[in-house]
Chain A
């Protein structure tokens, strides 16, 4: 299987603090990889390194067949970067932005106009092409940003938190655009804080925490680590809570409120089994609710597992 990106042992620290700690990663050509993690996990730093904006302290990477350190110009020719804040010029119109970028990519004079017009149509920006970008909605700006990324069909597109700060409607639009790109066979590296977004768009998800890849796999594989649902159980008193705690492996606990949360597949059978098991153990639950697992749950379970491993190793 050919890879568009291979990363090995990339390390970067700022001011003595590891932001990336020996990160290994590979992205298959034509696939979408979501780099999932909380703020400060190192997602953006990794993207900036792979986009040649900053140099790693150690490690190597190849992007579209070009070595990151030996041939940054080759990397730059093969990629396009869409950052957390739409990298567009607010004082220029949508069309001026596209034409400026097309000229900077040294397209022939005629092709500049045609390409800009074509992209404005594809990304649904034709009506606003003569308006200054400063007056665009968040979603329109991101779409213009993506349109710019597509001027010269790059081998690899970086999307750094493409929907952060967008309203739900705009987010849907951006997702649609990203899916179109992916269907077109463009390799995409996407960073996000939202499990839902990774779920919607990615073929593979790599979870980054404190500068390390803590898990990777398809969305289904990752979710099977935690279960597809979380059952939230509230107990009547501390005694029942403590008793239940001995019986279960909770993903989250709130002792003060006598609440335990456990992973579940969400089926009636599993919930029924869980409740009768607790009742038999003398710790009947007072209240039950079921919710979708959040990114927090996946992280808490992963970091809890890591902490437990370290404990055992001692």
Chain B
């Protein structure tokens, strides 16, 4: 199998997955409404009651990015699970094509969906008073962090989608992923949490990821640690998730479809 064929296969699959996303108006609309509604909810409803040592909009933007990415990952898991229950994957596999291209199609579509949602979070954030102090170089670093995080989460979602026996089961992944950020520094600083929850918040991957973005945009983290320190932990976490998810997704794809 030449590289040119493999690339062409991947491109066909990306087109397919993207078309499928665009033609699911319900999910697409929700994915676009979610950032707007959550931003307004957090800044105007909860924000006034929360003391984060500054404007809440300045605090919460990274948290909403990971929350929306969690929702987006659920969509990806459902898309993969749906594909697996459909005869079309058997057809793909009985054709002389690179089987990785099917997953790559899902991952690229997932990245595209999530980056649109992320851009929307940033735009709405700026509209409600978020004022990042970062210079362009730090913006680029933040973008890199977001892409790496969403990539890792997309692969994890693909693995969950392959593992799930149905689209409904895969959907529950959304619920889990949308709760994990609440027990991190995404919405409130760790020091305001009771001791057991604080312990979880200080040791789960969402915290360094959120803090890296916060540090890059606002110049300081909520944990007091340096942005660079948080960034290394965040990168290590994402790399670990990515490695595990890619390995298990590839394994599951080979074995799940042959059952």
Contact = CB atoms under 8 A, between A and B. Distances in A.
B19 A96 contact: yes
B95 interface: yes
Interface residues of A, number: 30
Nearest to A134: B23
A91 B24 contact: yes
Interface string B1-42: 000010011001001100110011000000000000000000
Nearest to B23: A91
A53 B19 CA distance: 27
Nearest to A148: B91
B94 A52 contact: yes
A103 B88 contact: no
Contacts of B24: 91
B229 interface: no
Given A54-B258, A87-B91, A73 B12 contact: no
B95 A87 contact: no
B8 A84 contact: no
Contact of A86 (B15, B87, B258): B87
Nearest to B85: A85
A210 interface: no
B104 to A, nearest CB: 13
A48 B91 CA distance: 11
25 contacts: A48-B90, A51-B90, A53-B90, A53-B94, A53-B257, A55-B258, A76-B95, A77-B96, A81-B94, A83-B90, A85-B87, A87-B88, A89-B20, A89-B88, A91-B20, A91-B23, A96-B19, A100-B15, A104-B9, A104-B12, A104-B92, A105-B95, A106-B5, A132-B23, A148-B91
B131 interface: no
Contact of B90 (A87, A89, A96, A132): A87
B147 interface: no
Interface in B220-259: 257-258
Interface string A67-92: 00000010011011101111111011
Contacts of B92: 104
B19 A87 contact: no
B4 to A, nearest CB: 9
Contacts of B12: 100, 103-104
Contacts of A92: 16, 19-20
Interface in A28-78: 48, 51-55, 73, 76-77
B16 A76 contact: no
Contacts of B15: 100
B83 to A, nearest CB: 9
Contacts of B203: none
Nearest to A79: B94
Interface of B: 5, 8-9, 12, 15-16, 19-20, 23-24, 86-88, 90-97, 257-258
Q: Nearest 6 pairs between A and B by C-beta?
A: A87-B87, A87-B91, A83-B87, A85-B87, A81-B94, A87-B88
Interface string A100-126: 110111100000000000000000000
Contacts of A100: 12, 15-16
A106 B90 contact: no
A85 B36 CA distance: 40
A104 B88 contact: no
B93 A53 contact: yes
B94 A51 contact: yes
Contacts of B5: 106
Contacts of A55: 258
Contacts of A85: 86-87
Contacts of A105: 95-96
Contacts of A73: 96
A126 B92 CA distance: 24
Nearest to B2: A106
Contacts of A76: 94-96
A83 B23 CA distance: 25
A53 to B, nearest CB: 6
A17 to B, nearest CB: 15
B91 A106 contact: no
A55 B257 CA distance: 12
B19 A91 contact: yes
Contacts of A104: 9, 12, 92, 95, 97
A80 B24 CA distance: 30
A48 B97 CA distance: 17
